[in-house]
Structure 1
């Protein structure tokens, strides 16, 4: 996604060094694999150990923000993050418009509430399709499913991101999508979500 396929972690004086790209410091389990096609088959304690190591044994330096992307649901990864970072500022929950996805997201929101983690908001991904010819967004799944669910759960709705072929293209090329396709509706949605989170 950031053009980092094949990168490996290097050691610094006080721990591992994150890979830097475009002003971001990035760390991924993929950087630990011998082969990019190797599966990651870890049980709970191993996952927690790696997350702990990423948090404690990496020379992050001064950060404005630390974003941790975990798989959907209420499994080992989000639980480990919540246990290892007691001062966690909040969680952003990503869903798609379908009812089945919203059902899982409700569990994630309740998980956060039960653990005392503030839900900063919900983002609806794949909210429509951006036509590559005219740029118009056409709904292809249930419209506004994320917004409705966020309202029902009493958490902020941060925005909807449509499917845009340029997102995948930019990611494959390691380019910042909001710069390479700045006029796209999806880029506008990303910028608006960032504004919502930083006010």
Structure 2
């Protein structure tokens, strides 16, 4: 069962998202919040697997709430859910440690897929958001690529292999199956990779993998 915290200041939006989540029997909404401060408090008390946070909320916006939840309840994966797809929101969401970014205008199936992905230890960006990120990376790609390759030099060959699969969006379980190792070993590799690359989460690590040219390589 994937335990979910749903935070949005609009009751109708919460009801709509709740209805979408209700079609998947593996989801359980354990708490609902109408503002960012309440979302943080409920995340600390309920320790959900996934927190769905609207970016624009009263008392404490979703980005600030996400940062506090990451510090106080690090086991909770965070998905930012918003009507806004501006690049500065995306960058800030990734910077505070969000594992997913979804648009409210997207396909409901994206929401279900995104929750399963982040709950399984992977990252998930809606296709429109992913296009924006890739577009940003394309500008100045040569310089970024050189810098990223320098960063991954600190990794072992096995860690680079794991990083490449993180870049493809695979969860820990999927990486373990692909590499014929146990999931606990994958978790250890990912933790080491994040530390050595000096990134906060899998999304940022995936961006490094993309910039370094690891994603899409034949292995």
TM-score, length of structure 1 as denominator length: 0.34
- Which structure has the greater CA radius of gyration? 1
Answer 1 or 2: higher relative contact order, Cα 8 Å, separation at least 6: 1
Normalized per residue, the structure richer in strand is: 1
